[in-house]
Amino acid sequence: MAHPSLPVNRAALLAGAAAVLGLLTACGNGGAASPPQHVSGTAAPASGGTTASGSASSAPGDGTAQGSTAPGSSPATTRAGGTTAGTNPGTGAGSGAGGRCHTSQLKASVGRNDPGAGQENFPVVLTNVSGRTCTVRGYPGAAFVDASGKQLGPDPKRSAGTPTTVNLKPGRSAWAGLTFSNPGVSGAKTATPAALIVTPPDERDHLTVPWQAGPVPVGGNASSVFLTVLSPGTAP
Contact 109, 125 (CB under 8 A): yes
Report the SS3 class of residue 207: strand
Band of the pLDDT at 98, cuts 50, 70, 90?
low
Contact 153, 211 (CB under 8 A): no
At 155-174, the pLDDT tens digits run 999 999 999 999 999 999 99
> How high is the pLDDT of residue 221?
77
> Average per-residue pLDDT in the chain?
72
* pLDDT average, residue stretch 119-124: 97
DSSP character string of 74-136: HHHHHHHHHHHHHHHHHHHHT-STTEEPPGGGEEEEE-----BTTEEEEEEEEEE-SSS-EEE
Q: What is the pTM of this model?
A: 0.59
Residue among 140, 144, 152, 137 nearest 205 (CA): 140
Pairing of β 225-227 and β 157-158: parallel
Q: Name the amino acid, one letter, at 123.
A: P
Residues in contact with 224: Cβ distance below 8 Å, sequence separation at least 6, in sequence order: 154, 156, 157, 180, 181, 217
Which residues are bridge partners to 215 per DSSP?
A: none
At 195-206, the pLDDT tens digits run 999 999 999 999
At 50-84, the pLDDT tens digits run 333 333 333 333 333 333 333 333 332 222 222 22
As a whole number of angstroms, the distance between CA 16 and CA 10 comes to 10
The yes-or-no verdict on residue 21 having pLDDT over 60 is no
> How high is the pLDDT of residue 223?
87
Report the SS3 class of residue 165: strand
The yes-or-no verdict on residue 11 having pLDDT over 50 is no
Q: Where is pLDDT greater, at 83 or 191? A: 191
* pLDDT average, residue stretch 109-123: 95
* pLDDT average, residue stretch 93-114: 83
